Amino acid sequence: MRVAVNIRNANLGIPDGHGESMRALVREMAKIPGDHMVEYLCDAPLRLAGSENLLHGARVLRPFPAGNRVLRGILEADPWYRLRVAIQGLLRRWDVYVQSAHEPPPSFGIGARVVIVHDLAFIHPDAQENFDGALIAELDRWTAVNVHAATIVVAVSDVVARDVARRYGISPTKILTAHHGVDSKRFHPNYDAQEIAVCRRRHHIESDYVIFVGTIQPRKNIPTLVEAVTRSQSQGVGMQLVIAGAGGWKSESSIDAIEQADPAVVRWIGRVAEGDLPLLIAGATAFISVARDEGFGMPALEAMASGVPVIAADDAGLAEVVGEAGFLVNPEDPDAISSAIARLSGDQQLRSDMISRGLKRAEAFTWKAAAHNVWGAIERACVSF
């Protein structure tokens, strides 16, 4: 079987959820033994560290040397996706082509297709508050084209699978769920206390804290989170909110809420180094996210794997990932969120119980399982095309 996996965006190294998950997935997929030919398509030399199979399978397709602006106008999208990959598909005769459902597909030259849907936040009722109209139209268009053209659709959660079936009229029998995994070598409960303390000092964190990790954008619901922590402090709970993540699109109101809060209540440390993130999570009293419309909820999973209790929105992918291992709260109710913080900070038995449940829950999510599930989708697509 000849397989092509488009990793162009993953190869950029951008530290967002989609990129991080695709990098982890292809690293693990490349470890699966077999005599299949797998090519990992990118437009620049491979930046991903990984197995020999990944390094040897990388196929660099350089953008066209000229005419890209004209071609973009004709093809209504980046010609690298629409034409460059399509030509290679004709020449290489791939049996199965794999890509993110949110990127433009090749215009021709492709047989069986597997597309991966990360989330459909851009079509939810409050999408206009979270995304620019042009971006919504683009994401909706290409996702629709991809899922209808796909032989098999892979969703990262059951919530996303249901959204795809409902929004685009896809039969559930065509959709397979492959949950993300967690890197247990990075996120675990065994970090040295002194190492954590040094990291905290490096980020000027001087008190007990709950941590949020993620790009700041409207659907992350930062103003409500800030309000909840402010209320908990006014009620005598000495817990600071640490926000680790860069500003994203439409982040002005969220940043305003952060900047107007008492610095003793909220500390925004921006995007942190890869080596610091596990230490900051491990050092927290709790991880907290009341984001809306999450497709999965990777930071919550990483927190559970780190032995840190989780407070999460009772909504979408976050609720699916956390399940009964964490505190699920109404993401629009600051009092409920504040109460959860107070209970966790004041009840050591509850904390211990949640830590145990979280660690057990995290064991169910591995990148090895995710890779085997996606590979199963590839084999199924090849047979059924």
Q: How many CB atoms lie within 10 A of CB 133?
A: 9
Neighbouring residues of 308: CB distance < 8 A, sequence distance ≥ 6: 281, 282, 284, 285, 286, 287, 355, 358
pLDDT at res. 142: 97
> Which tens digits make up the pLDDT trace of 217-247?
999 999 999 999 999 988 888 899 999 999 9
What pLDDT score was predicted for residue 14?
Answer: 75
Kindly state the tokens that stand for 180: 């993300």
If you average pLDDT over residues 87-108, what whole number do you get? 96
pLDDT digits 0-9 by tens, 69-88: 999 999 999 999 999 999 99
**What pLDDT does 35 receive?**
84
**Which homologous superfamily does the CATH classification assign to the domain defined by 193-362?**
Glycogen Phosphorylase B; (3.40.50.2000)
Q: Which residue has the higher pLDDT, 47 or 172?
A: 172
Helices (H) and strands (E) in the chain, counts: 18, 13
pLDDT digit string, tens, across residues 251-263: 899 999 999 999 9
Report which of 75, 133, 146 is spatially closest to residue 105, judged by C-alpha positions: 146
- Which helix (H) or strand (E) segment holds residue 266: the answer is strand 266-268
Average pLDDT, the chain: 94
How do the domains of the chain map onto residue ranges?
Answer: 2-181+366-384, 193-362
CATH of segment(s) 2-181+366-384: 3.40.50.2000
Q: What is the pLDDT of residue 342?
A: 93
pLDDT at 73: 94
Distance in angstroms (rounded) separating the CA atoms of residues 5 and 205: 42
176 pLDDT exceeds 80?
yes
Contact predicate 340/309, CB 8 Å: no
368/270 Cα distance (integer angstroms): 31
Tokens standing for 226?
A: 């800030």
Least confident piece of the model among 47-51, 66-70, 102-106, 339-343: 47-51
How is the beta sheet containing 266-268 ordered, strand by strand?
A: 266-268, 240-244, 209-213, 286-289, 310-313, 327-329
Across the range 318-333, mean pLDDT stands at 96
The pLDDT assigned to 51 comes to 66
Given a cut of 70, whether residue 92 has pLDDT beyond it is yes
Is the pLDDT assigned to residue 372 strictly greater than 70?
A: yes
pLDDT, average across residues 41-69:
87
Same fold, 2-181+366-384 and 193-362: yes
Residue 125: what pLDDT?
82
Q: What is the pLDDT of residues 265-301, one digit of tens each?
A: 999 999 999 999 999 999 999 999 999 999 999 999 9
Q: What is the pLDDT of residue 2?
A: 95
